[in-house]
Amino acid sequence: MSKEKKSEQLIRQIKAGRKSAMDELLKLWYKPVVHYAWRFTGDQYAAQEIGQTTFMIVFKKYHQLKDISKFKVWLYRIADNQCKDYLRRQKRYELVDEHNLEEGTGSKYNAQYALEQREKIAWIKKSLLKLPEEQRIIIVMKEYQGLKFREIAEILNISENTVKSRMYAGLKALKKNLNQANSEVHNLIF
């Protein structure tokens, strides 16, 4: 059974009074929400707090969810708003990419590869940070969270075409930023 179908089933149970279904819903979605918040805020502890706050809101307002098939969209909209609130409070905009790099067995090749991967990640992070938030958030939702354009449009309350155009503009700008960063590094070396 898909996560979405399982969520619908759990929401029905919660609405019917089975409060233990809340624990199951939390187990199903807490990690993806925290992962999203971490990528959005760049702060692991804030991401955990955002995850907790998001689910406090979900459990407080689940009765307001009219169409349970839209739970995922509703959940990410709440998480998105919590992330934006956090960033407004912190007055900083960072994006962290937490690739799990293997250090390898200690060989020179593996160490060099890991270093190159870290450098690429750093370039991508810096390039993403240069993007306007409206483009960056769509890239994070699509590429890192695996959301569909339709879902992103619903979460952000904009048209699907707007999502696609922002994604295209963001990827184009990201490519330009990466090429510029690569050029700057090349000029430093040579």
Segments in the chain forming alpha helices (H): 3-15, 20-41, 44-61, 71-90, 108-130, 133-139, 149-156, 160-189
Output the pTM of the full model. Answer: 0.62
Say whether domain 1-96 belongs to CATH 1.10.1740.10.
yes
Say whether domain 105-190 belongs to CATH 3.40.50.720.
no
Q: Is 29 in contact with 71 (CB distance < 8 Å)?
A: no
Q: Of 40, 36, 34, 69, whose CA–CA distance to 55 is shortest?
A: 34
CB proximity list for 169: less than 8 A, separation 6 or greater: 135
Domain boundaries, the chain: 1-96, 105-190
The per-residue pLDDT string of the chain (190 residues; one tens digit each, 9 = 90 and over) reads: 888 899 999 989 998 988 899 999 999 999 999 988 888 877 888 899 999 999 999 999 988 888 989 999 999 999 999 988 888 777 644 444 444 444 444 445 566 666 666 677 667 777 777 788 888 889 888 887 888 899 999 988 999 999 999 999 988 988 887 777 666 554 544 4
Tokens encoding 48: 């955990």
